[in-house]
Structure 1
Amino acid sequence: MVENDAQRRILLVHAHPDDETIGTGATMARYVAEGARVTLVTCTRGEQGEILVPELEHLAPEREDGLGEHRIKELEAAMAELGVTDFRFLGGAGRYRDSGMAWDEHGRRAVAPDDVRPDSFWMADLREAADHLVEVIREVRPQVVVTYDENGGYGHPDHIQAHRVTTYAFVLAGVASYRPDLGAPWSPAKMYWTAMPRSVIQHAIERMKEHPDNPFRGVESADEMGFVVDDADITAAVDGRAWLAQKAAAMRAHPTQIDVSGPFFALSDKVGHEMWGTEHYRLVCGTAGPADPATGYEPDLFAGLGI
């Protein structure tokens, strides 16, 4: 049971270990440092993830199927780097299995594979899964909830399912007559979706054109990336550049999934700081707070809440 002694409380819902660090690691580290209660719910253990460490290939699902247990340890190490102490799995570790993914015919959008297992998160009963999150929301009582958009960012079925479960639970948690056994009702004030602005990706594409390890080689427009969001749809930008070292350390704690030495995460100079130190969001429920005149975005996900 979490003591709700922190005035500001934020709940983030992610699909697999490592997703939280890549998309929201700087935000999490910043709010921990500022004294907010940061709660992370991860929906699967990431059993189907690609293994980037050769000596751990025996953990693959087609061999020992031990990657999920290993990724729990990676998540623990990453949270230690970010300072997050309240992290848990939806329904308990192993309740929902990583669904895996495939790529569409264009190779730009993730889709569900043909052989999705019945115990996968993609196949989960929506209300059952949402009830697990309702219980967490009522326990933690966050003012702010963060998850993915309706496309799961880039189409991964587990990201889409995390979006569905979070959206359902966000509403149900505040209904007094719904499942009173799951705790007293609580309605968060705001919900955000994670987002990557088109301008940020386009800037990186332009800056990296002459780089020998250009991760965008052959790409001319950010629209080709498949996960960008119109700048006009962005409502908040959390400046976490002061915590970029913690985010990088947390990414290094996920070695089976992230090659921090690779060009995509080692973008040079200002590009890397811009892409990974400032994290962007779309407000989809609640009222926006005052915007930063310099950016036009809310600088704080708690903006306007008076806390």
Structure 2
Amino acid sequence: MPDRPEHRLLLVHAHPDDETIGQGATMAKYVAEGRGVTLVTCTAGEMGEILVPELAHLAADQEDTLGEHRRGEIANAMAELGVTDHRWLGGFGTYRDSGMAWHPDGHAIGDPEVIAKHPNAFWNADLTEAADRLVPVIREVQPQVLVTYDQFGGYGHPDHIQAHRVAMYAAQLAAVPSYRLDLGEPWEIAKIYWGAMSESRMRQGLRMLREAGDTTSFEGMDPDGPLPPFVTADENLAAGVDATDYVDRKMAALRAYPTQVTTDGPFFALSNNVGATAWGLEFYRIAKGELGPLGEDGLETDLFAGL
């Protein structure tokens, strides 16, 4: 393709809003720099908690139309970030949100009732079948960089774990010269990253929140105590993309998800108290590929470094 951007990033996420929370600033930065950004969302988040009382009727146990509503929310969010290439894995409605419950140990698990009731719950997906729906996207877009979750999906959500599995497997299959040539010409992704949150910066942010008198944001998290599994020890980080100039776009994209994110919630509280770096500096672990040149803090400053 003559108009194909030189640098191309593919992100694979489970539900609408996951992408903005994790990499919204990076996405906005790369779009502004003329790089290709493609987002694949695996489900419409039909089981999400609805934070707007007047929209409670959309819930799964009522009209069950939240997924269609969130379809509009993610379109608005992508407009705020400038992303024009957004796709649903297998097409909208192919896979359904698997729901979530909390394990006594404090991490997320699947909702057994949802998983049993809905055969198309993403957790029920056949891995090869789901990966085969991502392979043609990889071969068409030909990204040099893929971003998805770690093997635990950050905090244990089954759809995050499944998105990780599908993305990692599809990346392997897409590169095999003899695999399913009906899905396009083989393409190997040079670098794969897992989204991460810096432990030191999370502790700093929590400390500033508590010092400002905010005891409800990220409730139960102690700046000096154990942190949830989605927080990554700094020594395991590989890249930190400074997109603080684009944090306003990220926050605007978060506001595009009123059913899921409140402006007085923890994301905005952290941003208000810590500043743009709270959500404008986004971190990554490398899962495949060679690190490029490193910045002063020992991390890559660009996911395309070295390519």
Residues 145 and 188 in structure 1, CA contact (< 8 A), matched pair in contact too:
yes
Matched to 1:114, the amino acid is: P
* Match in the other structure for 1:252: 255
The CA deviation at 1:119 is: 1.2
Secondary structure of the residue aligned to 2:211 is: coil
Aligned-pair identity in percent equals 58
Secondary structure of the residue aligned to 1:47 is: coil
- Alpha carbons of structure 1 residues 3 and 181: separation in structure 2 relative to 1, 3 Å: farther
Pairing 1:52–2:51 present? yes
**Which moved further from structure 2: 205-214 or 14-23?**
205-214
- Alpha carbons of structure 1 residues 37 and 268: separation in structure 2 relative to 1, 3 Å: closer
Pairing 1:180–2:178 present? no
Query: What's the RMSD between the two structures over aligned residues?
Result: 1.4
After superposition, residues 1-307 of structure 1 pair within 5 angstroms as 5-106=4-105, 108-115=106-113, 116=115, 117-214=118-215, 215-220=217-222, 221=224, 223-267=226-270, 271-293=274-296, 295-305=297-307
- Alpha carbons of structure 1 residues 3 and 275: separation in structure 2 relative to 1, 3 Å: farther
TM-score by length of 1: 0.95
The CA deviation at 1:268 is: 5.2
Task: State the distance in 2 between where 1:180 and 1:217 align.
Answer: 50
Matched to 1:141, the amino acid is: Q
The CA deviation at 1:201 is: 1.1
Task: State the distance in 2 between where 1:267 and 1:181 align.
Answer: 47
The CA deviation at 1:208 is: 1.6
For structure 1, the 5+ residue unaligned runs are: none
Task: State the distance in 2 between where 1:275 and 1:162 align.
Answer: 26
Matched to 1:132, the amino acid is: R
Secondary structure of the residue aligned to 1:39 is: strand
Task: State the distance in 1 between where 2:64 and 2:2 align.
Answer: 36
TM-score by length of 2: 0.95
**Which moved further from structure 2: 59-68 or 253-262?**
253-262
For structure 2, the 5+ residue unaligned runs are: none
Deviations 1:155-210 (A, max 9, x none): 00000000000010011101111000000000011000000111111111211223
**Which moved further from structure 2: 218-227 or 171-180?**
218-227
Residues 202 and 222 in structure 1, CA contact (< 8 A), matched pair in contact too:
no
Matched to 2:78, the amino acid is: M
The CA deviation at 1:269 is: 5.0
Task: State the distance in 1 between where 2:225 and 2:31 align.
Answer: 32
- Alpha carbons of structure 1 residues 173 and 86: separation in structure 2 relative to 1, 3 Å: same
Task: State the distance in 2 between where 1:276 and 1:3 align.
Answer: 35
The CA deviation at 1:262 is: 2.0
The CA deviation at 1:4 is: 5.5
Deviations 1:216-257 (A, max 9, x none): 454323533332111000000001100001001000001100
Paired residues, number: 302
Matched to 2:211, the amino acid is: E
Matched to 2:302, the amino acid is: D
**Which moved further from structure 2: 171-180 or 267-276?**
267-276
- Alpha carbons of structure 1 residues 88 and 67: separation in structure 2 relative to 1, 3 Å: same
Residues 4 and 141 in structure 1, CA contact (< 8 A), matched pair in contact too:
no
Matched to 1:150, the amino acid is: Q
Matched to 1:70, the amino acid is: H
Secondary structure of the residue aligned to 1:57 is: helix
Task: State the distance in 1 between where 2:275 and 2:171 align.
Answer: 33
Residues 101 and 156 in structure 1, CA contact (< 8 A), matched pair in contact too:
yes
Task: State the distance in 1 between where 2:240 and 2:225 align.
Answer: 19
Matched to 2:234, the amino acid is: D
Residues 4 and 140 in structure 1, CA contact (< 8 A), matched pair in contact too:
no
Deviations 1:80-115 (A, max 9, x none): 000000001000000000001100113x21001121
